[in-house]
Amino acid sequence: MATLKTEDLSLSYDGERVIRELSLEIPPGRITAIVGPNGCGKSTLLKGMARLLKPKGGSVYLDGEAIAKMPTKEVAKRLGILSQGPVAPEGLTVRELVAQGRYPHQSWFQQWSREDERISARALKITGMTAFADRPLDTLSGGQRQRAWIAMALAQDTEILLLDEPTTFLDMAHQLEVLHLLERLNAEEDRTILMVVHDLNHAARYAHHIVAIAAGRVFTSGSPAAVVTPDVLREVFNVEADIVPDPRTGAPLCIPHGLSSAAPQKVG
């Protein structure tokens, strides 16, 4: 199974050091959530791990190989990333978008093989987008559009899937729809999923492993029960919260009730 890890990774964004000598190993075949306050560098970290940002120091390793030294097309066959708020050109249909996911598997002569067709159709089916395949993206709801982009990432057919806040701008039902989809992809297809999540309760409910980032460093990581604690909430998010078990799943559920009195954390 594909493995992804960073060693002493440092990343800058707009000339400012955002991630500092961060070492992290993503458990293969599991769902990992990255959480942290605004500006802690979690999105930057995700981009760095997907080689969309060049490291200022340290490395990202995919299956033990330094990602920066691998041909980018080779990386694209094993690791897919869905950034935040991607925009499709006007009039592009879902089917055309999803077909783009096959790009790393194609060549000048082999532009639409039977396998491309099969895997794209499957990605449409898994995400429930088959019925919308011929609709332009700009005519779909936010949730459908997000599913279409996930379908594109699925068509890329990578063992590892990185997602940056896949549920932002979605209403509650669409958020659950996307999270359930990711849960199923992990359970039924053994895909390793790494996602940046804003809502701590979503992380606790859907992830097997949580990484809490503060000021560009890993504050703590582990199972939801180990990470979602009053201490971590106070130190990382500056909130006082009660943690109660989710009556359905037993996952820790966080109920914030006030700002912590500790001085606000310096970021950067």
Partner 1 sequence: MRRWIVVRPPGLPVSFRLGARVPAVLLALTLVTLAGMVLNVGYGEYPISPPDVVRTVLGIEAGDGNYGFIVNTLRLPRVLVAFAVGVALAVAGAILQGITRNPLAAPEIVGVNAGAGLAAVTLIVALPAVSVAYLPFAAFGGALVVATLVYLISWKGGGASPIRLILVGIGFAAMATALTTIMITFGEIYAVQQALVWLSGSVYARGWAELFALLPWLALFLPLAFAGARQLNALNLGDDVARSLGGRVELQRLSLIVVCVALAGAAVATAGAIGFVGLMAPHIARRLVGPSHEGLIPVAAMTGGMLVVLADLVGRAAFSPIEIPCGLITSAIGAPYFLYLLYRSRNL
Cβ closer to partner 1: 75 or 204? 75
Q: How many CA atoms lie within 13 A of 175 on its CB side?
A: 15
Q: How far is the CB of 180 from partner 1 (least distance, A)?
A: 24
Q: Is 62 or 233 the residue whose CB approaches partner 1 more closely?
A: 62
Q: Residue 88 CB, nearest distance to partner 1 (Å)?
A: 6
Is the torsion defined by CA of 11, 17, 22, 27 positive or negative? negative
**Nearest CA-CA partner of 2 in 62, 51, 69:** 62
Nearer to partner 1, 14 or 231 (CB): 14
Where does this chain bind partner 1 (CB under 8 A)?
47, 50-52, 54, 71-77, 80-81, 83, 86-93, 95-97, 99-101, 103-104, 106, 108-114, 116-117, 134, 156
For residue 196, give the 3-state DSSP assignment.
Answer: strand
Nearest distance in Å: CB 74, partner 1? 8
Cβ nearer to partner 1, comparing 103 with 219: 103
Least distance (Å) between residue 268 CB and partner 1: 19
Query: CA triplet 88, 84, 136: central angle to 5 degrees?
Result: 25
What would the two tokens of residue 87 be?
């925009």
Residue among 109 and 263 whose Cβ is closer to partner 1 = 109
Angle at which helices 114-126 and 172-189 cross, to 10°: 130
Pairwise CA distance, residues 102 & 266, whole Å: 43
Q: How far is the CB of 179 from partner 1 (least distance, A)?
A: 21
CB atoms under 10 Å from CB of 166, counted, come to 25
Least CB distance to partner 1 at residue 1 (A): 21
Nearest to 125 by CA among 96, 154, 104: 154
d(CA 33, CA 48): 16
Take residue 187 and report the two structure tokens written for it: 């359970």
CB of 259 to partner 1, least distance (A): 34
Whichever of 47 and 202 has its CB closer to partner 1, that residue is 47
Nearest residue (CB) to partner 1, 75 versus 227: 75
* DSSP β-bridge partners for residue 80: 161
- The single residue listed with the structure tokens 């690791």 is 79
